[in-house]
Structure 1
Amino acid sequence: MLLDLFLLNVFIMLCSWVLVTYNRRAGLVDVAWSFSIALNVIIAAWAIDSAPLLVRLFLGLASGIWFSRLTWHLFRRYAHETQEDTRYANMRRAMGDYQHLGFLVFFIFQAGLALLFSYPMLNLLTISTEQWSDWTSVTVIVAGMIMLSALIGESTADQQLYHFKLDPQNQGKSMDQGLWKYSRHPNYFFEWLHWFAYPVLGLAAGSYELWIYPLLMWLFLYYLTGIPFSEKQALTHRGDNYKDYQRRTSMFIPWPPKE
């Protein structure tokens, strides 16, 4: 199953890479990454019958909805962009004459990364029914509450920022209303929160290694691909306005702003 899903991810990434070769907007890789995880989870929940039906339904529906919504949000953002995302534009310049091959390697790497972040769901789906404890339904409820809270929070943050950016009067300003009043990156915070649902669910099956995923996602968001780039880009485009926003507002965990 893992090999089949990886090959599916590679196919999706190769199709995306071909399109990016012509339109030179490599941000499509983010859409393809999220879409790959959504397909991985939905297919695995349908095809693997080892886990209890309740667990399969929860992961297929809850995780499928989570990553499908994220795919739609990223695609909508991508469709409205007129220029290539700064991250990938910088990569393109750095690779120079080898950008075509460089992006091919990068897209295939993302296929593997999509499988890596599908692992919590795949791991839970392959645990046989006999290994799940009597309080599986309790962990499903708790995991569902975490997932729902994260879904509402991230969806709200994304919608608030999306509509803020649509208003030309907000050009050069920092979004500091709604959830963005309490955190400079509420979308990342709720994305991180979502990953706690899987280790909580795994408690009922003794799958304790899944606790590495909230830590892994925090490292990605806090130090690698999320906050550092977003902060740098915001300072470049909004300067003192964003510095004032930084001074008043928590970076990650929602917290009342400073006066």
Structure 2
Amino acid sequence: MASSSSNNTHGKNLRNAVVALLAPLPSIFFYLSFLRHYSAAAEAGSLSPLWTWCYHHPLLLANTLFFLNVNVLFWLIGVLQSSHWMIDLYWTMIPLLLIHYFSTHPLAQCNSWRSRLVILLTWVWSIRLTHSYFRREKWQWGAREDWRFSDMHQQYGQKWWWISFFAVYLAQQVFLMGICLPLYVVHSKDKQLNIWDLLASLVCLTGVTIAYFADTQLHNFVTRNERLKKLGQDLVPNLDEGLWQYSRHPNYFGEQLWWWGLVIFAWNLGCGWCFVGALVNSLCLAYVTILVEERMLKQQYRAEAYKNYRKRTSVWIPWFKTSLTGKEKET
């Protein structure tokens, strides 16, 4: 029985890996076809209406491909599998795909050094987050979907199959395309590198570094509790060591620094309005923070410890612990 279960797990893991690797190919092949036709048309002096539209509307084309390939195709796969796990994985990959799209589009005009710098930073961010995702999922593809989607599935019941299109996918397009606008701006403005590019890079790298160490400390904490649970011993109720003694969500803080660092790149190029995407994402994460903490307080073994931890520790921005008053200690 154990061997059969293991084979089923390996089979599911392999199938999900194949599905995930094949899923973005329609957009990739379409874009490569556009580049090939554009290159040929540049020599011949003619371009079909479809490819002309793709040439003149790079941002609209990116959103169209996102809608068809991610919203529609990923959603159909999620409905068939009864699990919308793939969007969580591709959150780590879509910005990387977008920046290579923006940098190679024929209309791109940019400072080549700034382009290389931001591409490199995006690769570092993506590798960090992808590693964190697979480490958390025990190196499996599609073992589970985000708990928020599972909760919404229970909430909406039989209606979830169509509500999920809007709640999981269309919403993700708004967030992802919004926060990735600086990647587009970097490849649509040509300006010499300056001190603000250095500052933006430092903010981005600081965010990635904080998020990496915070996620690693959280992973070690969860792994330790899993080991204690198998041994039948009491679980450690709360993580309040390392970065977590200064912030209740240092991983979220690091992630937000990354996106606001990209905003500095855009602001330096005269497109400060790009802050809207990062602001909406931060507000969304603030709501997620509330949901996460409510989830913590529902777990009896950790509720009391987490209440005290919440009273003493900063929510996002790392800061020194505050002392509990006598009244707070009693409550």
Normalised to the residue count of structure 2, the TM-score between the two structures is 0.68
The aligned runs of 1:159-198 (5 Å cut-off) are 159-167=216-224, 168=226, 169=228, 171=235, 173-198=237-262
- 2:88 match: 30
1:7-55: CA deviation from partner (whole Å, max 9, x where unpaired): 4333134444344335433343222233222211232123353011012
- 1:148 match: 205
Instruction: Summarize the Cα distance change of 1:173–1:46 in structure 2 as closer, same or farther, 3 Å threshold.
Output: farther
Letter in 2 for 1:34: T
Instruction: Summarize the Cα distance change of 1:152–1:7 in structure 2 as closer, same or farther, 3 Å threshold.
Output: same
8 Å contact 1:46–1:60 — kept in the other structure? no
Instruction: Summarize the Cα distance change of 1:221–1:56 in structure 2 as closer, same or farther, 3 Å threshold.
Output: same
How many Å separate the matches in 1 of 2:270 and 2:80?
A: 48
8 Å contact 1:45–1:57 — kept in the other structure? no
The aligned runs of 1:89-100 (5 Å cut-off) are 89-100=150-161
8 Å contact 1:21–1:100 — kept in the other structure? yes
Out of 259, 264, 267, the position equivalent to 1:200 is: 264
- 2:122 match: 63
How many Å separate the matches in 2 of 1:19 and 1:72?
A: 23
Instruction: Summarize the Cα distance change of 1:138–1:164 in structure 2 as closer, same or farther, 3 Å threshold.
Output: same
- 1:126 match: 188
How many Å separate the matches in 2 of 1:151 and 1:244?
A: 29
1:119-155: CA deviation from partner (whole Å, max 9, x where unpaired): 121123112x2xx2x5x33222111111111111111
- Residue 102 in 1 paired to residue 159 in 2? no
8 Å contact 2:78–2:84 — kept in the other structure? yes
- 1:236 match: 298
Larger radius of gyration: 2
Structure 1 gap ranges (5+): none
How many Å separate the matches in 2 of 1:82 and 1:212?
A: 34
Out of 103, 117, 121, the position equivalent to 2:179 is: 117
More relative contact order, 1 or 2 (CA 8 Å, 6+ apart): 1
Normalised to the residue count of structure 1, the TM-score between the two structures is 0.85
Deviates more, 1:210-219 or 1:243-252: 210-219
- Residue 50 in 1 paired to residue 109 in 2? yes
How many Å separate the matches in 2 of 1:209 and 1:233?
A: 35
- 2:148 match: 87
How many Å separate the matches in 1 of 2:175 and 2:282?
A: 15
- Residue 2 in 1 paired to residue 71 in 2? no
**Shift, 1:230, TM fit:** 1.0
**Shift, 1:250, TM fit:** 1.2
How many Å separate the matches in 2 of 1:189 and 1:198?
A: 15
1:52-84: CA deviation from partner (whole Å, max 9, x where unpaired): 101211221112331343234234434569665
- State the identity %: 24
Deviates more, 1:198-207 or 1:150-159: 198-207
Instruction: Summarize the Cα distance change of 1:210–1:6 in structure 2 as closer, same or farther, 3 Å threshold.
Output: closer
8 Å contact 2:237–2:305 — kept in the other structure? yes
Letter in 2 for 1:103: S
How many Å separate the matches in 1 of 2:204 and 2:317?
A: 17
Instruction: Report the count of equivalent residues.
Output: 252
